């Protein structure tokens, strides 16, 4: 059949088919084609009904299916609905081709409020679902539906489905049209309960299976509707309440709704009347916030940080810039004082010094610009320096009498501020209290990023000079970091791997320089071009020598591993493809490959490398040319496994492995030790009940750790990276078999490795202070309570005694408690102490609230456990549960049911909740991302705007979930049972002939030199002294 008009032609198939049963499925293209063409041709009224009637005669359809087909014709992403949709639905209702329950069910299927399943695409436009709900309401009010009891039953179930969806969803507050939809559903529910057919069905036919959830849902919806604050709800909500009250079966299923509503209303009113205590920015809160920015993985989001502080220091709609200026200076000095008191590592102390001298002046410059006069910053400096303990920060002249770790810090800080034109050089003597030992810098000598980039482009030696200057505390680290970032990016783009090798070796050899750069440059932005370069790395067609290529690749690759391991960066944070080389290595570099999973090329590479590593002369170009560096590193753990298997099977003597490990310690192969050692650590733990094999594995580990005669600096970095996981594995083995520690070399090895210290910069590593607290107190919750009380006491006393020392508090305590005990336990500890401070006549509830707010709101330094999240809106991966903000919000929502039990608890929750929500009003949206992108653009210079926006967005809105990353490979010493794939190569075949001149008389006890050069911490250790066969 063909139907024509002056404006359109619609073709309808003429083939006769049998009428379809209710909800059966017809050919989707036929009805959808009709709807699409009618919408396109703007067909209305009788014409549409005629066309639909003609198609219905040929292709009758299921009612719900038909409603869904019509909604499927919406434009994807449309905000405003097409009014023809409502008209078409009304026509289909009028001709009884669909029912009102079909309209509601189909609308819910396409709605974001749909429960348990994602919405059917395309989703409803923002106002269409409201219009369709109102259409159904009109049908009920005009008694056009429902006509029979079974239709009334279906309609009741459809209404219940919508009400349950809206009550259980968290989309309402995010939906711009949420209040209007709530109003429409309120009218729908009231109209349904006032309809005669519906009343008869509820009173006479409905079972408890539907009446109970209906009663509970109506009650919850009524509460939700009244809380939306809409004028419609205020005027008409009582109509719904009265309709419910008139139905005895609904009323009897639960408490009388109006009574419960009255109680809840009274409780809500009581909560709203809780009086806030004055907001006082405190010294401990600033201390906690600044530590979150710099103590572990630095957070270079200056825009976010200043927005955070502006909210905290806003007074009468204006930021109190002078108070913020002073508190920032005092807080940065407090960080250093606390670190020295806790005996933090030299690298940690240096990073905090760099933050004070190099980073803080950038914050202060922005604040100084908003002050009323040019001399105000100098007054702020004077006030700030009067509040620090000069005994902890002595003047430079103190060095003539005795050495102190912080004796030059005040002068270095003031010199940097003079360099940034924050104060006059002539003012430094008065602020310092003595004549400076050297002349203050001239502000004109301050580095500019653009100038440095030009210098590096014309003189490659300038790059090395700048890297060396990162070690200085002179206020120029920011421009240097941005310039080095630009240089690295340019070298990656140009594939200038020779120059890049030198930069990477310098940074890897001195990891503390990475700490400085990370305060200015987003680490992900630093690594992405390098990862791309490693992925694209290929031999040239006319490649001459191959070892230099391996050396360059190893240097660049080791920098990536150093950054990833040091700052605990998850592979999914890098923003690189999952099939890229770096992703594959971080995920699987510590795993061995089963023989049946190896490709022919991999078997060939494995055979070549097994022979090459045991060649006493050298690894030849033949070996290197046959295998790209990426292929070698992905096989390195498997190569190590096969060497171990050969020793275990007595195919080669252990002494013969010396040559292989000496080669692996060479600069061009040294990164391979990381994946290999991680596999060996897991393998040794797996074989803890098989002493001979475990012993051989540990001898391999010690062989890898004990350095060659003159180790290169990058080798020392690898050993630093692997020292802590090795110690943890050996200590676990010793705990499992105490007699194992009887070997003197084991104890010596543990002492040597422990002296290296931790390479990581995260908040979750144990330190001596935390271990001591746990030994004396027993668990983290009492320790956290004690620390909270100490911080409150410090905050209370510091105004009267400004130079009072910082309490012996480590941020690791708070984050470790959060990781071990969960957000609920930590929040209970915080609330208990706030209650105690509020009740006590001598308490300090305002200070307690400020500290608690800082703990909850300060950004958690990024790690694979909990990526940086300024707004605290994502689930915490620390304990796979809610974070502190969400846990506090849940406690707040539960308050109406707990008011009668503990009013002090209610006040603590309400006050803390208000503080947290006000503080976290900092915007984390696209506008802010654009501002952050502009800020990074200013620092990075030539980076393309689209790339900068991507990097900025990635740094601000870090994904919530954390991948395995390097933590599952290099740094994860928590789970040694994940040994990877099983199996290995058969070493007895011709392809694996291991008889290449291996004498057994090699001396393994003469490993002179080591990490410390002349002060070799491994001197005198001989792995052959260990008799593992006696340990059962």
Confidence grade of residue 402 (pLDDT, cut at 50, 70, 90):
low
Segment of 294-308, 412-426, 776-790, 967-981 carrying the highest mean pLDDT? 412-426
Q: Are residues 130 and 243 in the same domain?
A: yes
Q: What is the pLDDT of residue 901?
A: 66
Q: How does strand 2-4 pair with strand 9-11?
A: antiparallel
Closest CA to 704 of 727, 672, 745: 672
Residue 808 lies in a domain: yes
Given pLDDT bands bounded at 50, 70 and 90, which one contains residue 579? Answer: very high
Q: Do residues 456 and 472 share a domain? A: yes
Among 2-16, 112-126, 158-172, 932-946, the minimum mean pLDDT is found in 932-946
Weakest-pLDDT range from 37-46, 839-848, 928-937? 928-937
Same domain, 790 and 919: yes
The pLDDT of residue 933 is above 70: no
Into how many domains does the chain fold?
A: 5
Which residue among 254, 280, 305 closes a domain? 254
Identify the pLDDT of residue 543. Answer: 66
Residues 793 and 819 occupy one common structural domain = yes
State the pLDDT at residue 14.
39
Residue 488: pLDDT above 60? yes
Same domain, 759 and 794: no
Burial (CB count within 10 angstroms: exposed 0-12, middle 13-18, buried 19+), residue 129: buried
pLDDT grade for 888, boundaries at 50, 70 and 90: very high
Mean pLDDT of 567-576: 87
Give domain status of residue 359, yes or no. yes
Instruction: Quote the pLDDT of residue 43.
Output: 87
* Per-residue confidence (pLDDT) for residue 777, from 0 to 100: 44
Among 503, 533, 566, where does a domain finish?
566
Q: Is residue 637 within 8 Å of residue 645, measured between CB atoms? A: no
Is residue 38 included in any domain, yes or no?
A: no
Segment of 551-565, 816-830, 901-915 carrying the highest mean pLDDT: 551-565
Does residue 922 carry a pLDDT above 70?
no
| 737, pLDDT greater than 50 | yes
Dihedral, CA of residue 218, residue 221, residue 223 and residue 227, to nearest 10? -160
In a domain, 593, yes or no: no
In terms of DSSP H, where are the helices of 369-460?
376-385, 409-419, 428-432, 449-458
**Percentage of the chain modeled with pLDDT above 90:** 31
Mean pLDDT is lowest, of 295-309, 343-357, 567-581, 687-701, for 687-701
> Would you say residue 959 has pLDDT above 80?
no
Residues 511, 364 share a domain = no
Work out the average pLDDT over 218-236: 76
* Residue 992 scores a pLDDT above 50: no
Which phi and psi (to 5°) does residue 330 adopt? Answer: -60, -40
Whole-number Å distance between alpha carbons of 759 and 723: 8
Question: What is the DSSP code (8-state) at residue 943?
Answer: S
How confident is the model at residue 264, as a pLDDT?
A: 63
Q: What percent of the chain has pLDDT over 70?
A: 77
pLDDT of residue 869: 58
Provide the pLDDT confidence category of residue 495 given band limits of 50, 70 and 90.
Answer: very high
- Determine phi and psi for 877, rounding to 5 degrees: -85, 0
**Residue 425 sits in which domain range?**
320-445
More confident residue, 711 or 842: 842
Give the DSSP per-residue string, 347-374.
HHHHHHHHIIIIIHHHHHHHHHTTSSST
Average pLDDT over residues 778-790: 86
pLDDT exceeds 70 at position 650: yes
pLDDT band at 482 (very low <50, low <70, confident <90, very high): very high
CA distances, 522 to each of 283, 334, 527, 931 (Å): 28, 25, 9, 15
Which two three-digit tokens encode residue 538? Answer: 């290929």
The string of DSSP letters for 641-666 reads: HHHHHHHHTTSS-GGGHHHHHHHHTS
Whether residue 378 sits in one domain with residue 527: no
- Give the integer Cα–Cα distance in Å for 193 and 190: 5
DSSP labels for 662-688? Answer: HHHTSTTTTTHHHHHHHHHHHHHHHTT
Q: Are 348 and 339 in contact (CB under 8 A)?
A: yes
Average predicted confidence (pLDDT) for the chain: 78
Question: Is the model's pLDDT at 789 over the cut of 50?
Answer: yes
Residues 6+ apart with CB under 8 A from 938: none
In a domain, 955, yes or no: no
Q: Are residues 356 and 231 in the same domain?
A: no
Residue 552: which pLDDT band, with cuts at 50, 70 and 90? Answer: very high
Calculate mean pLDDT across residues 567-580.
88
Residue 50 lies in a domain: no
Three-state SS at 315: strand
Give the pair of three-digit tokens for residue 242: 């009265």
In whole angstroms, give the CA distance from residue 251 to residue 233: 21
Among the residue ranges 81-90, 877-886, 896-905, the one predicted with the least confidence is 877-886
d(CA 926, CA 936): 15
One domain, residues 183 and 217: yes
Q: Are residues 128 and 201 in the same domain?
A: yes
For 53-75, how does the pLDDT look when each residue is reduced to its tens digit (9 = 90+)? 888 888 888 888 888 888 888 87
The predicted pLDDT at position 535 comes to 94
Q: Does residue 225 or residue 427 have the better pLDDT?
A: 427
pLDDT digit string (tens) for 1001-1029?
322 222 223 344 444 445 555 544 444 33
For residue range 176-212, list pLDDT tens digits in order. Answer: 778 888 888 888 988 888 888 888 887 776 666 677 7
The pLDDT value given to residue 994: 32
Give the residue from 420, 445, 470 where a domain finishes: 445
Contacts by 623-629, CB closer than 8 A, 24 or more apart: 624/546, 624/547, 624/549, 624/550, 625/539, 625/543, 625/546, 628/537, 628/538, 628/539, 629/537, 629/549, 629/550, 629/553, 629/554, 629/557
Measured CA distances, 124 to 112, 138, 166, 452 (Å): 8, 20, 15, 54
How far apart CA 731 and CA 273 sit, in angstroms, is: 56
Are 463 and 401 in a shared domain? no
Q: Residue length, the chain?
A: 1032
> Is 953 a domain residue?
no
Is residue 204 located within the same domain as residue 97?
yes
Flag whether 1018 is in a domain.
yes
Query: Can you tell me the mean pLDDT for 282-291?
Result: 95
Q: With 50 as the cut, is the pLDDT of residue 884 above it?
A: yes
Burial class (CB in 10 A: 0-12, 13-18, 19+), 518: buried
- For the chain, the straight-line distance linking the first and the last C-alpha, in angstroms and rounded, comes to 89
321-337 pLDDT, tens digit per residue, is 999 999 999 999 999 99
- Pick the residue with more confidence: 821 or 610? 610
Q: How far is CA 41 from CA 10, 37, 394, 766, in A?
A: 10, 6, 84, 70
Is residue 29 within 8 Å of 74, Cβ to Cβ?
no
Report the pLDDT averaged over residues 738-750: 76
């Amino acid at each position: 059949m063909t139907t024509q008009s002056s404006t359109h032609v619609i073709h309808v198939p003429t083939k006769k088919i049998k009428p379809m049963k209710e909800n059966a499925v017809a050919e989707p293209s036929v009805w959808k084609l009709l709807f699409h063409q009618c919408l396109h041709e703007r067909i209305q009224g009788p014409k549409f009904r005629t066309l639909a009637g003609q198609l219905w005669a040929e292709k009758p359809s299921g009612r719900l299916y038909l409603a869904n087909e019509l909604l499927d014709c919406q434009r994807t992403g449309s905000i405003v609905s097409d009014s023809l949709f409502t008209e078409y639905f009304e026509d289909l209702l009028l001709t009884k081709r669909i029912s009102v329950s079909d309209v509601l069910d189909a609308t819910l299927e396409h709605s974001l409020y749909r429960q348990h399943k994602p919405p059917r695409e395309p989703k409803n436009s923002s106002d269409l679902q409201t219009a369709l709900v109102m259409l159904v309401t009109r049908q009920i009010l005009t008694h056009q539906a429902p006509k029979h009891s079974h239709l009334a039953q279906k309609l009741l179930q459809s209404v219940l489905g919508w009400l349950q969806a809206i009550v259980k969803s968290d989309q309402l507050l995010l939906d711009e049209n949420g209040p209007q939809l709530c109003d429409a559903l309120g009218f729908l529910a009231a109209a349904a309960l006032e309809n005669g057919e519906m009343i008869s069905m509820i009173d006479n036919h409905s079972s408890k299976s539907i009446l109970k959830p209906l009663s509970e849902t109506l009650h919850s919806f009524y509460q939700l509707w009244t809380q939306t604050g809409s004028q419609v709800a205020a005027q008409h909500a009582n109509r719904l309440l009265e309709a419910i009250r008139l139905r005895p079966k609904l009323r009897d299923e639960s408490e009388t709704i109006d009574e419960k509503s009255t109680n809840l209303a009274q409780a809500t009113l009581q909560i709203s009347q809780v009086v806030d205590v004055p907001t006082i920015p405190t010294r401990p809160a600033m201390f906690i916030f600044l530590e979150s920015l710099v103590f572990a993985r630095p957070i270079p989001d200056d825009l976010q940080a200043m927005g955070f502080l502006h909210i905290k220091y806003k007074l009468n709609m204006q930021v109190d810039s002078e108070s913020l200026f002073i508190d920032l200076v005092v807080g940065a000095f407090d960080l250093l004082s606390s670190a020295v008191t806790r005996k933090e590592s030299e690298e940690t102390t240096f990073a905090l010094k760099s933050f004070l001298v190099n980073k803080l002046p950038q914050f202060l410059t922005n604040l100084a610009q908003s002050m009323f006069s040019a001399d105000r910053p100098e007054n702020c400096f004077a006030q700030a320096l009067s509040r620090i303990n000069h005994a902890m920060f002595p003047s430079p002249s103190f060095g003539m009498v005795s050495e102190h770790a912080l004796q030059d810090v005040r002068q270095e800080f003031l010199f940097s501020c003079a360099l940034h034109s924050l104060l006059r050089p002539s003012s430094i003597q008065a602020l310092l209290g003595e004549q400076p030992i050297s002349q203050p810098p001239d502000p004109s000598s301050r580095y500019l990023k653009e100038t440095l980039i030009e210098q590096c482009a014309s003189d490659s030696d300038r790059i090395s000079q700048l890297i060396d200057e990162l070690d200085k505390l002179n206020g120029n680290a920011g421009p240097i970091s941005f310039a080095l970032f630009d240089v690295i990016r340019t070298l990656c783009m140009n594939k200038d791997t020779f120059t890049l090798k030198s930069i990477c070796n310098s940074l890897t050899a001195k990891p503390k320089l990475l700490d400085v750069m990370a305060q200015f440059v987003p680490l992900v932005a630093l690594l992405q071009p390098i990862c791309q370069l490693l992925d694209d790395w290929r031999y040239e067609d006319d490649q001459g020598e191959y070892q230099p290529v391996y050396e360059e690749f190893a240097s660049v690759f080791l920098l990536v591993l150093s950054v990833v391991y040091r700052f605990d960066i998850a592979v999914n944070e890098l923003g690189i493809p999952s099939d890229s080389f770096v992703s594959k290595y971080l995920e699987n570099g510590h795993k061995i490959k089963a023989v049946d999973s190896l490709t022919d090329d991999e078997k060939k590479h494995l055979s070549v490398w097994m022979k090459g590593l045991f060649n006493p002369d050298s690894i030849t170009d033949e070996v290197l040319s046959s295998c790209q560096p990426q292929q070698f590193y992905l096989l390195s753990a498997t190569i190590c496994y096969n060497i171990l298997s050969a020793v275990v099977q007595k195919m080669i003597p252990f002494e013969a492995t010396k040559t292989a490990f000496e080669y692996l310690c060479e600069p061009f192969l040294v990164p391979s030790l990381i994946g290999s050692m991680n596999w060996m650590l897991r393998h040794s733990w797996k074989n803890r009940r098989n002493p001979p094999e475990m012993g051989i594995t540990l001898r391999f580990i010690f062989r890898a750790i004990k350095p060659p005669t003159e180790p290169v600096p990058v080798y020392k970095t690898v050993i630093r990276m692997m020292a802590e996981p090795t110690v943890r594995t050996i200590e676990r083995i010793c705990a499992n078999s105490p007699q194992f520690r009887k070997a003197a070399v084991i104890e010596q090895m543990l002492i040597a490795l422990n002296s290296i210290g931790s390479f990581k910069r995260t908040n979750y590593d144990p330190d001596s202070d935390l271990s001591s607290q746990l030994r004396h107190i027993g668990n983290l919750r009492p320790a956290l309570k004690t620390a909270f009380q100490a911080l409150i006491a410090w905050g209370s006393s510091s105004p009267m005694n400004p130079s009072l020392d910082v309490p012996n508090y480590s941020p690791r305590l708070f984050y470790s408690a959060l990781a071990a005990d969960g957000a609920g336990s930590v929040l209970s500890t915080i609330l208990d102490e706030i209650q105690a401070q509020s009740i006590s006549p001598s308490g300090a509830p305002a200070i307690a609230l400020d500290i608690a707010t800082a703990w909850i709101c300060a950004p958690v330094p990024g790690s694979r456990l909990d990526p940086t999240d300024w707004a605290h809106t994502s689930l915490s991966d620390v304990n796979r549960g809610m974070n502190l903000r969400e846990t506090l919000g849940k406690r707040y929502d539960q308050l109406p049911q707990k008011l009668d039990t503990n009013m002090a608890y209610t006040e603590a929750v309400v006050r803390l909740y208000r503080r947290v929500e006000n503080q976290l009003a900092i915007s984390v949206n696209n506008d802010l991302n654009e501002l952050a992108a502009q800020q990074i653009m200013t620092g990075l210079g030539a980076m393309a705007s689209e790339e900068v926006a991507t990097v900025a967005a990635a740094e601000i809105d870090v994904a919530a979930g954390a991948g395995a990353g390097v933590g599952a490979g290099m740094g994860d010493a928590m789970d040694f049972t994940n040994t990877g794939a099983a199996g290995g190569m058969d070493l007895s075949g011709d392809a694996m002939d291991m008889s290449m001149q291996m004498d057994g008389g090699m001396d393994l006890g003469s490993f002179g030199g080591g990490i410390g050069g002349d002060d070799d911490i491994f001197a005198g250790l001989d792995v052959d002294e260990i008799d593992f066969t006696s340990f059962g």
